[in-house]
Structure 1
Amino acid sequence: MGALNHKLLRDLWRIKGQAGAIALVVAVGVLLLVMMSGMISSLDETRRTYYERYRLADVFAPVVRAPEKMLERLAAIPGVDAVEGRIQGGALVEIAGQDMPVRAQIVSLPPWREPRLNGVYLADGRMPQAGRTEEVLLLRSFAKAHGLTLGDHLSATMHGSRRDFRIVGIAQAPEFLFTIAPGEFVPDDARFAVIWMNQDALEAAYDLKGAFNEALLKLERGAQVEPVLAAADALLDRYGGLGSYALEDQLSNRFLSEEIKGLRTTSSVVPPIFMAVAAFLLYIVVSRMVQSEREQIGLIKAFGYTDWEVSLHYIKLVVAIALFGAALGCAGGVWSGRLLAGVYQAVYHFPFLVFRVEPSSFVSGVAVSVLAAMAGGLLVLRQVFALTPAVAMRPPAPADYSRSGALNARLKRWLDQPSRMVLRRVVRNPGRVFGAVLGIAAGMGLSSAQLTVMSGFDDTLDQTFDVIDRSDVAVTFFEQMPDKTAFALQHLPGVIEVEPTRSVSAVLRHGTESYRGGITGLMPGARLSRAVDADHADIPMPDAGIVLAKALADILKVGPGDQIMVEVLEGRRPVLEVPVARIADTLLGAPAFMKLDVLNRELNEPGRITGAYLRVDAQAYPALFAALKDVPSVAGVSRKSDSRAAMKKLMDSGAGTMRFIMAAIAGIITFGIVYNTARISFGEQARDLASLRVMGFTQGEAAFILLGELAIVVFLAIPLGVAIGYGLSFLVAAGFSTDLYQISTDFKPDTYGLAGGAVVAAAILSGWLVKRDIEKVDLVATLKTRE
């Protein structure tokens, strides 16, 4: 081993505290990169395998009623590989001990064979036997939520008649990774069931003998989906086609895609921030080390070592620290990824999910960390090249402090000698102090941004369910109903106020952009379900035009005054061209609003509603739900408190879990940066502090001189950290926002106060650790010139 390599090992041991703090920053960045990239690839691979193994359709074509012979014509469409027809419908399920009825989707199973498409994974039990109309499969997540097992009985109201069923199997399916009740946008395992039963039983229940109301199409490899959608719509239009759609628009798949998209966005934003902080810290450490070792560098060069050899020594130093951090990060990324995989499997109801990291993730993690470290180290190489042996081996010229005489005289009146020494050191080294301030501010910015986003999740819930939605209960109907139905609801037990509404499925288009969703018709002056602007003021429904949620306006790339195309997917399926009147500040979903009578007029269907929002006396809930169970037209009942709890559960799981992980990591990083700053300052001043001790200063006075500078740096870093955190909060919030919900980023003084308090606490702990080192200093050894 060469002399410089021996020196490298000694240097690493000497700065082990600083090196460990920097390696921790690098490790965190690599951990997030490995964990998130592994999670993305695992979710992608699991989804692809699950979809292929159980033959999930590429195209879904709902229809009112079509004869089975149409399946042959659908199969003849160019690009179609396989076709399956099935029957599905809505139902209300009664759960023992629960007042409110639960919505369910009933799906048919073909007799005597496995489904060609959209297969079912049987988690427990067996398939229903042909001819046994009372036997059903129940979705595993719903069964688990209510404690239902094999052999239990269910009572459900289907198409106006009540039926009793026996559970013979517990199932999962790739099309129901998320279970979302019609008319809602929040998945909830406990409030929506999926039931599979024999096709002949459903044919009788829904009067669809020899017919189907949904066609499933699997495409050939490489086939274009758009021509198939157009051909399927053309064939099914005369039978009441409701608009075919591709797998990418299927609700469950859309939720999962949004989750993966959010992970990708977060992984592209957060790890680079940590790497940039690590590069900056390495720059500070190496540049100060070069300054403190100028005499050694001069001596090394005098012995014949070239500038490049000396520079390579310091590059090896930063690379060694980066590699150690990267190794820790890779191991931590695999460990944390496996833990997170269990969370994702439970949330998304995969029958299997194995966390697997591609080798490229490890390679990229190590490469990024090394490149970031080298970027920080290369910036100081010019200092090495600039040092000639003759100049470097001389002590540096003392600084000229003659101009500060008047300042010293003034300070003597107010400050004692140790305090003046602290202040002079800060004033005379502005560049070094600014670097320390910036490093701590960056750490505080990461923490405050995470805290702001965590608060933003709660704000999204509060604004949506307290400001925008003021109802207590929402009721939806199986089909369009006359508006006088709302008056009938007014007379149900406990109902204080009724506000009718209408929802229409539609595809909204603007240029090349499109979004499959719907339009909600609101009453003038709506009070229970409102459209609001950024200031939470009501947006009056215009007499002409449409009001879009901000998220939807961003997707379609439209603003007020622009024209959009609305392709209605029900009834006569008209195509409307309407202007955008306003942009609403909704935080959940991507809805579009129109005035109720204007929407009905555009559809040429006056006086029609599909649901209503109710304000209800809380004491009358049991009587109200019992009355709604006996109304055949009611498709579902949802309580706002249940929707809020489901939304919070969704935000706190899956990608939402990452915000807790990242907040904890940001706190660790903040401590690492503060501790590293204190260690660097101690390393620079160890000789000076030892000299002061010899001159008669006490340990407490010597510690005050060192820690006083840290206190000033922290004091200056906190306001800068607030500014950095505010800017970062928008980037982090954008990474967590999806089509389902948008995270608000309002300025919250308490979150920044908490982040600042964490920095102060980290400074106190770091100061205590460094003070212990001051007390252990060997004065004689420290005052010796290190060869």
Structure 2
Amino acid sequence: MKGQAIAIALVIASGVAMSVMSLSTLKTLDGTRAAYYERYRFAQVFAGFKRGPRTLESRVQHIPGVARADLRIVQNVNLIVPGLPEPAVGKLISIPDHGTPKLNQLYLRRGRLPEPGRLEVLVGESFANEHSFQPGDSVEAILNGRLRELTMVGIVLSPEYIVEMDPGDMLPDFKRFGLFWVPETEMEAAFDMEGAANDLSLTLMRGASEDDVIRRLDNLLDDWGGVGSYGRDEHMSHRFITDELAGLEAMGLVTPIIFMAVAAFLLNMVMTRVIAMQREQIAALKAFGYYNLEVGWHYCKMVTLIVVAGVVAGTLFGVWMGHGMAALYAAFFKFPIFYFQFDLQTAVITAVLSVAAALVGTLNSLRAASQLPPAEAMRPAPPGKFSKTIIERMGLQRLLSPAWRMIIRQLHRQPLKAVFSVLGISAAVGILVLGNFMNDAMDFLIDFQFRQVQRQDLQVSLFEPTGIDVVNDFQHITGVRQVEAFRGLAVRLRNGARSHRTAIQGMGKTRQLYRVVNQNGVDQDLSRDGLVVSDALARKLNSRVGDSVVVEVLEGERPVTSARIVGTIDDLSGLNAFASRDFVNRITREGPRITGAWMTVDAEHLDDVYASLKETPYVVGVNSKEATIDSFTSTVADSQLQMQSFVIGFAIVIAAGVVYNTARITLSERDRELATMRVLGFTHAEVSVVLLGELALLTLAAIPVGLAFGYAMVWLTTTSLATDLFRIPLVISTGTFAQAAIIVLLAAFASGWMVRRRLYHLDLFAVLKGKE
């Protein structure tokens, strides 16, 4: 039985490995994040405003529930990085001239702190690593219209930016976005902010109401151009890592259940056959005085031994996989210290559940062994009941060879065994579909987001809302072919007790460079006064087309109005709202204004366009679509490739385990029949058809069931993993279905070939002897 035991142990090991890897990594990541937040005082509420005096800090401290507040200056600037033709974006954050910030404290990885009186800065590690910067290197930045040199004297980490990304980006771009911490006096002088600030973060007292503090804080900052306060759950870095934790938890809980169910089924098949083969031995043991419990315990130990072997192997492999995942996370999530920590509690719980699942799966067989009366056990098992198959009732048996008639009759006699075999193999097919569909989803997402929706080459962001005349400036840049302006407006949308902080994207009448489309390619009409919102945003606000929502503008004079939802789109990223630019300008009561533009450029003049934009003082950011695609693919590729290889390997284990065990059990049950056929003159090929034809039918029947099962799992995955940041499209290509079917067929072929070799070693003389 060693082959069957190894196959079952490998199935158990696969589920245990996924559980240990996912849940241990989850606990490591969550524990590291919590310790980092606490030790380095990550804020709980954040707020931006136009400009306010430093005395605001004491007033904020008096808001009930506020434990600590910290004012600072935050500005986005254009960077000129050596060797990088396009402009990069730098976020400058002020820090005290001496000492450390009250909140969001920094961890100095290398170098030293800046000295007052010099334009020395600290740089985030992701940006520094991407450009191989060392303490002492420098970059140029346009500060308030003046070109200045920033000397990087230290490389740091911040709990506020575990993922170093701009809140307006869909994914991190470590090459084109950098974080810099600048002494307070230098920031005040560079941006004319003496004695003033424009950003605030704070922590709360235990038991304080975050919503109440945010409401009071917004009221306080109204006079200073507040743009809306928000909690930690809306902070981009925190949301990003929280979504990753949710994915790990789902993987660690759902996947092992599938493997344990398959393992329990395999053990049930094996133990049922073993007990049937050992009826005489069981009877002899009971005749000698062994109790039912002792006989049952004997087989329990056999099951437990197989499970324990699988648990040990799976735990070791899960630890190895966990170290690989930790290395990926350490490169992406920036913690001072991050090492994979094996979670013994998870391993113990997984082991107990594996043993319990196996024993439950074999409970019926164990009960049969322990309760088998000695007299009954000494008699041969009664033959199965014969009845005509459907094919025979239809009179089609003459179309089949004798070997195929045997196969059909065998399946007809044991329908439950056939059904469970089909379900076991279909689980492998479904897991392969689930593991490979992500490639299809990512290909569709890139095509939809970056070729159907975003058709521009560059997106240019302005320092503040500006007159429409700047579009003419862009159009006169050599190499620029087409320009479309937009007006982004920070708002909070409310519907009763539900609300969400987002931005309305005000767009012009001509929308060729950025389209508002559904996944089927149908454009949404923005000509009517109202909002077109993401389906996800509509669900969050509990709103439908035709409903009105309250629009609280979070900039300028901060007017409050209402708007009707005139359409929804099934987009794939963010919780977005779109409207005509005229409608947005009427809401703000500021007249025609824009905050950015999309443009297409000639490839041969791209560097010239970059150079011109670098010298434009009111441009605060330039995003290249191709650079975003590169960042997207490089961010997803490593982790996706590694997880895909694990899933494919585990699915092959399931397929091979089910097919191999089914074939071995069939061979054990029918060895006398097959040997008799050989004595009667059947060839090896004809005998092989009887043995392996049944497996072939089961595998072929399992493939369509498995494809449907895979589709259901993909739907469940896309539904459960949908977040405010991303919605994974439910897209499965024909190639993915075909690949899953082919891999399972190959695994079945390999298993069948291994079992077929045993046909050459059948004892042909044994069948000539009667059973004693």
Q: TM-score, normalised by structure 1?
A: 0.92
C-alpha displacement at 1:387, in angstroms?
4.5
Among 149, 155, 180, the alignment partner of 1:170 is 155
Aligned to 2:126: 141
1:592 and 2:581 are equivalent in the alignment: no
Among 6, 11, 26, the alignment partner of 1:25 is 11
CA distance in 2, matches of 1:505, 1:266: 36
Among 115, 125, 129, the alignment partner of 1:129 is 115
Contact 1:507 1:517 in 2 (8 A): yes
CA distance in 2, matches of 1:565, 1:692: 81
The answer to which of 549-558 and 441-450 deviates more is: 549-558
Q: CA-to-partner distance for each residue in 1:360-402, whole Å, 9 max, x for gaps? A: 2122201221221122112445644774443443223334658
Aligned to 2:658: 673
SS at match of 2:357: helix
The answer to which of 73-82 and 296-305 deviates more is: 296-305
C-alpha displacement at 1:662, in angstroms?
2.6
The residue type paired with residue 139 of structure 1 is G
The residue type paired with residue 203 of structure 2 is K
Q: Which aligned pairs between 1:751-766 and structure 2 lie closer than 5 A?
A: 751-766=736-751
CA distance in 1, matches of 2:287, 2:474: 95
C-alpha displacement at 1:206, in angstroms?
0.8
Aligned to 2:620: 635
Aligned to 1:706: 691
Q: Which aligned pairs between 1:452-601 and structure 2 lie closer than 5 A?
A: 452-601=437-586
1:82 and 2:68 are equivalent in the alignment: yes
The residue type paired with residue 395 of structure 1 is P
The residue type paired with residue 57 of structure 2 is L
The residue type paired with residue 119 of structure 1 is Q
C-alpha displacement at 1:299, in angstroms?
4.3
Q: CA-to-partner distance for each residue in 1:228-253, whole Å, 9 max, x for gaps? A: 22232222221112222222222111
SS at match of 2:152: strand
Aligned to 1:108: 94
Q: Which aligned pairs between 1:721-760 and structure 2 lie closer than 5 A?
A: 721-760=706-745
C-alpha displacement at 1:511, in angstroms?
3.9
Q: Which aligned pairs between 1:184-583 and structure 2 lie closer than 5 A?
A: 184-381=169-366, 383-384=368-369, 387-399=372-384, 401=386, 403=388, 407=392, 414-583=399-568
C-alpha displacement at 1:104, in angstroms?
0.5
The residue type paired with residue 461 of structure 1 is I
CA distance in 2, matches of 1:304, 1:545: 85
The residue type paired with residue 157 of structure 1 is I
Contact 2:20 2:252 in 1 (8 A): no
Aligned to 1:4: none
Q: Percent identity?
A: 39
Go from structure 1 to structure 2 and tell me whether the alpha carbon gap of 1:781 and 1:30 turns closer, same or farther (over 3 Å shift): farther
CA distance in 2, matches of 1:33, 1:480: 50
Q: CA-to-partner distance for each residue in 1:320-364, whole Å, 9 max, x for gaps? A: 322222222222222211221111111112221122233321222
The residue type paired with residue 652 of structure 2 is G
Contact 1:563 1:580 in 2 (8 A): yes
C-alpha displacement at 1:290, in angstroms?
3.5
C-alpha displacement at 1:312, in angstroms?
3.7
Contact 1:436 1:677 in 2 (8 A): yes
Go from structure 1 to structure 2 and tell me whether the alpha carbon gap of 1:291 and 1:576 turns closer, same or farther (over 3 Å shift): farther
CA distance in 1, matches of 2:498, 2:638: 30
C-alpha displacement at 1:188, in angstroms?
0.8
Contact 1:500 1:609 in 2 (8 A): yes
Contact 2:454 2:513 in 1 (8 A): yes
CA distance in 2, matches of 1:16, 1:624: 69
Q: CA-to-partner distance for each residue in 1:278-336, whole Å, 9 max, x for gaps? A: 22222222333334444444444444445444444433333332222222222222221
Contact 1:65 1:211 in 2 (8 A): yes
Q: CA-to-partner distance for each residue in 1:704-757, whole Å, 9 max, x for gaps? A: 321122112112111111111111111233344432221122342211111110
The residue type paired with residue 118 of structure 1 is N
Contact 1:62 1:215 in 2 (8 A): yes
1:96 and 2:109 are equivalent in the alignment: no
Contact 1:177 1:252 in 2 (8 A): yes
Contact 2:492 2:553 in 1 (8 A): yes
Aligned residues: 772
CA distance in 2, matches of 1:755, 1:404: 31
Aligned to 2:38: 52
C-alpha displacement at 1:214, in angstroms?
1.3
Go from structure 1 to structure 2 and tell me whether the alpha carbon gap of 1:551 and 1:277 turns closer, same or farther (over 3 Å shift): farther
CA distance in 2, matches of 1:736, 1:216: 30
The residue type paired with residue 743 of structure 1 is I
CA distance in 1, matches of 2:390, 2:598: 77
SS at match of 2:82: coil
Contact 2:122 2:156 in 1 (8 A): yes
Q: CA-to-partner distance for each residue in 1:442-486, whole Å, 9 max, x for gaps? A: 211111122223321222122111112111111111110112322
The residue type paired with residue 365 of structure 1 is T
CA distance in 2, matches of 1:434, 1:38: 35
The residue type paired with residue 96 of structure 1 is P
C-alpha displacement at 1:514, in angstroms?
3.2
Structure 2 stretches lacking a partner, 5+ long: none
Aligned to 1:10: none
Contact 2:326 2:338 in 1 (8 A): yes
The residue type paired with residue 62 of structure 2 is A
Go from structure 1 to structure 2 and tell me whether the alpha carbon gap of 1:663 and 1:745 turns closer, same or farther (over 3 Å shift): farther
- For the aligned residue pairs, the C-alpha RMSD in angstroms reads 2.6
The residue type paired with residue 652 of structure 1 is A
Go from structure 1 to structure 2 and tell me whether the alpha carbon gap of 1:654 and 1:45 turns closer, same or farther (over 3 Å shift): farther
Go from structure 1 to structure 2 and tell me whether the alpha carbon gap of 1:559 and 1:412 turns closer, same or farther (over 3 Å shift): closer
CA distance in 2, matches of 1:95, 1:785: 88
